[in-house]
A and B are shown apart, each in its own frame.
Chain A
Amino acid sequence: MTAQMFFIGFFGLAAVWFGIVVFRTFSMVRSALALLFSQTALGAMFLSMQAEFLGVLQIMMMATEMSIMAIFMVMFMMDPGGLGTMEMTHQKRLSLWAGFVSFVGAVLVAIFVDWGPIAATAPDAAQQTVDLGLELLGRSMLIFETAGITILTAMIAATAVAIQPIKRSS
């Protein structure tokens, strides 16, 4: 139990530290990879909490997603190859407030929500995969499908906004 708590704490701190590194660096590629390591640390936290499927999935998905984010940033930021330097923070006052408010909100939710009875022991990894599949294709299906469509729409919209329209000479 103590070893488990230690690893959860360790990877949690690592996730926070890499999250800070995202804004301390001056390169888009370093920033994106720092975010990747932050998310990988979250995956390791899942593994420490014996949530094997979620942990492996998190570690797998984030590597692809963060790398693709890096190439999108490089493509749209007029910085060939991502070799230039760039300030990673902007709208500082607003961002600080937004960060603070969401942090307080998350803490309040964590404390005051009734999470239901806590399982004494985690079910074994194969059973977790089955449970997760039934959950995703049952009760939570609508939520996940909605989230998926929303993310896809946001990606298409962001790309459309970022691309400079080509003026075609008629």
Chain B
Amino acid sequence: MTTVLLLVSLALGAWMVAVIEEWTTSGRFRLAAPLFAGIALLGRESILARKPDRLFFEVAPVLLLLSAVLAAAVIPLTPNLVVANLATGALFVNAALVYVLVALLMAGWGPDGAYAMVGGWRFLGQLIGYAMLVVMPITAVVMRAESLFTTDIVMSQAEVWNIIYQPLGFVLFFIAAMALAFLPPFDLPIAKGELAGGVEAEYSGVRLAVFRLGRLALIITLAAATVVFYLGGWQGPILPPWAWSALKIFGVTIIMLLSGRMMPRIREAHMLAWFWKLGIPLALLNIFIVGVLVLVLPS
């Protein structure tokens, strides 16, 4: 039952992301557009590249969707609505999301096309930038909760949310999450107008539909993870827990989709330089500050 509820929530979330994304890019707010776009994609021919690595080409979109869904499985939307409350939950989110990279690498290399390949390798470079900035802020969150259970992480924020307790970690995690979901200005592997779609370039029809669905699920999963790690999860006054989760995830998604639109696409070398020379020292500083706070403040 929880699994069905989670999948329905993910589907609703993906639909919401698609609507907001269209609104942020073109200014049109059309609730039925994702449905029509999906039907259109399913109706179109799914072209196979001339000399693909068939295994990678077919597996990549499914793997992208699967890794987003698996990460969502450990994220609690209410105290009881969590598919698998693992003792390694916070680590598991990251373990599942690393396979986004594997999926994009396969999607880039599989179809034997230049644009796709450049996009795939670019995302690998991107990973080298963001990976540490996903893991290290989560470390600080776990330090405060003294547990890897995602439900314990939410409960640890009963009095003060982590966005106030460790604002530095929140900023770093939020930026890294945007890079993980390859949202603008970090949309290097897709790079519309430059790489002709990048890793998406050789996909069409039903395969492209699965790929796009995977990307939407990835965005919503990351927004949910941000809410659980930094915004107190389901907690809030008056409204029921599920409503608070939904509202917060909705808000984070809108900020994620809007904030990048106003910026030019960042160059790979610049991104790596910023993430390594500024991001990682700040993440270490964040761990240090949280360590001191955990020791000094009464729990």
Q: Does B associate with A?
A: yes
Indicate if the CB atoms of A59 and B95 lie closer than 8 Å: yes
Task: Flag whether A36 is at the interface (Cβ < 8 A).
Answer: yes
**What is the count of residue pairs linking A and B with beta-carbon distances less than 8 angstroms?**
71
Indicate if the CB atoms of B101 and A64 lie closer than 8 Å: yes
Task: Flag whether A129 is at the interface (Cβ < 8 A).
Answer: yes
Task: Flag whether A17 is at the interface (Cβ < 8 A).
Answer: no
Quick one: CB contact mask for A115-135 with B, threshold 8 Å, 1 for yes?
000000000111011000000
Interface hits, A80-102 → B, CB 8 Å: 81-83
Task: Flag whether B153 is at the interface (Cβ < 8 A).
Answer: no
**Which of B87, B99, B105 sits near A124, CB closer than 8 Å?**
B87
Indicate if the CB atoms of B95 and A126 lie closer than 8 Å: no
Task: Flag whether A14 is at the interface (Cβ < 8 A).
Answer: no
Quick one: CB contact mask for B64-107 with A, threshold 8 Å, 1 for yes?
00000000000000000000001110011011001101100110
Indicate if the CB atoms of A63 and B99 lie closer than 8 Å: yes
Residues of A within 8 A of B92 (CB): 56
**Which of A52, A63, A81, A124 sits near B101, CB closer than 8 Å?**
A63
B141 to chain A: closest CB distance in Å?
A: 15
Indicate if the CB atoms of B86 and A125 lie closer than 8 Å: yes
The complex places the Cα of A53 from the Cα of B148 at a distance, in Å, of: 10
Main secondary structure of the interface of B (DSSP, over half): helix
Indicate if the CB atoms of A125 and B91 lie closer than 8 Å: no
Indicate if the CB atoms of B128 and A68 lie closer than 8 Å: yes
Chain B interface residue count, Cβ-Cβ cutoff 8 angstroms: 29
**Which of B56, B118, B121 sits near A71, CB closer than 8 Å?**
B121
Indicate if the CB atoms of A56 and B131 lie closer than 8 Å: no
Task: Flag whether B109 is at the interface (Cβ < 8 A).
Answer: yes
Indicate if the CB atoms of B121 and A30 lie closer than 8 Å: no
Residues of B within 8 A of A29 (CB): 105, 109
Indicate if the CB atoms of B102 and A33 lie closer than 8 Å: yes
**Which of B53, B87, B114, B118 sits near A52, CB closer than 8 Å?**
B87
Indicate if the CB atoms of B87 and A81 lie closer than 8 Å: no
Task: Flag whether A77 is at the interface (Cβ < 8 A).
Answer: no
Task: Flag whether B22 is at the interface (Cβ < 8 A).
Answer: no
B187 to chain A: closest CB distance in Å?
A: 19
Interface hits, A2-43 → B, CB 8 Å: 27, 29-30, 33, 36
A32 to chain B: closest CB distance in Å?
A: 9
Tell me the nearest residue of chain A to B135, going by C-beta: A60
Task: Flag whether B124 is at the interface (Cβ < 8 A).
Answer: yes
Residues of B within 8 A of A33 (CB): 56, 102, 105-106
B272 to chain A: closest CB distance in Å?
A: 13
The complex places the Cα of A120 from the Cα of B160 at a distance, in Å, of: 42
Which residue numbers of A lie inside 8 Å of B, CB to CB? 27, 29-30, 33, 36, 52-53, 56-57, 59-60, 63-64, 67-68, 70-71, 74, 81-83, 124-126, 128-129
Beyond the given pairs A56-B95, A60-B91, A126-B148, 12 more chain A to chain B contacts, judged by CB atoms under 8 angstroms and listed by A's residue number, are A29-B109, A36-B102, A56-B91, A57-B91, A57-B95, A60-B98, A64-B131, A68-B124, A81-B118, A81-B121, A82-B109, A125-B87
